Amino acid sequence: PGRLAVGVALALGLTGAAACGGDDDEDATTGTTTTSTSPADTTTGGDGTGATPEPGTAAPADGSLPGEPIDIYPYADTPLGVVGVAADDTLNVRSGPGTDFDVVVELDPLADDLVATGTNRQLEDRSVWAELTVGGETGWANTAFLATPGAVNDVTSELDELPAAETLVEIADQVVELRAPFEPVPEVTVVAGPTVGDLGEITVDALGYGDDALAGERLRVFATPNPDGESFTTRTVEATYLCARGVTPEGICV
């Protein structure tokens, strides 16, 4: 099976929503689409599915927080974006580090206007939560779903072939395999689309490149419908670097 097994409705309908997977649960991975099991925080609290989250715990008035301070990325003033959150899901920014705290803001999978305060905490389960600001609000999010967007490049000419397939999901799967033909296999999430007009379009996050600097890539794939009306051929692919330790002014991961 392909890495983008996001459900029958998506694979057949082309315009359906991707499977839920990107939430802030500390037990969740980076939202791989290879599983249909939702993280616990998604199913129990309505988080990430468009439903109103159940009340949580307010931040302690005395400033005490769970976990231990940890001085790692993201550092103060680091620009951040949401990564690895499925197209029909949201990332919860909470009043404290952990899923027990109230939701302050729900961010869409392509949100990229976040700024780190430089305050991070590691919880007992080893998950790391970063304090950040967004839209005038301050809260905490799981760093498994955060990265710094880097340069955007047209990488079409770097592909050994232009994949063709019956669905845009299959096209994206093949593009990821061409971009990252190594172990471990990247975890892949459909973060936008698929949509079909004059061109088909789908955007996926491929995370887990095994590189200290490069967390992965966001691949925006455009495909041309074939004359048979039943398949597509890749036309262009744009890649955005998703940086794990910061980025230079030129958009290169450091």
Three-state DSSP state, 202 = strand
Q: What whole-number distance in Å separates Cα of residue 88 and Cα of residue 104?
A: 19
- Name the pTM for this structure: 0.79
Q: What whole-number distance in Å separates Cα of residue 160 and Cα of residue 23?
A: 34
- Mean pLDDT, rounded, for 118-139: 96
Q: How confident is the model at residue 54 (pLDDT cuts 50, 70, 90)?
A: low
What one-character-per-residue DSSP string does 87-126 give? Answer: TT--EEEESSSSTTBPEEEEE-TT---EEEEEEEEE-TTS
**CB contact at 8 A, 103 and 54:** no
Residues 143-175 have pLDDT tens digits of 999 999 999 999 999 999 999 999 999 999 999
Burial 110-131 (b: 16+ CB within 10 A, else e): bbbebebbebbbbbeeebbbbb
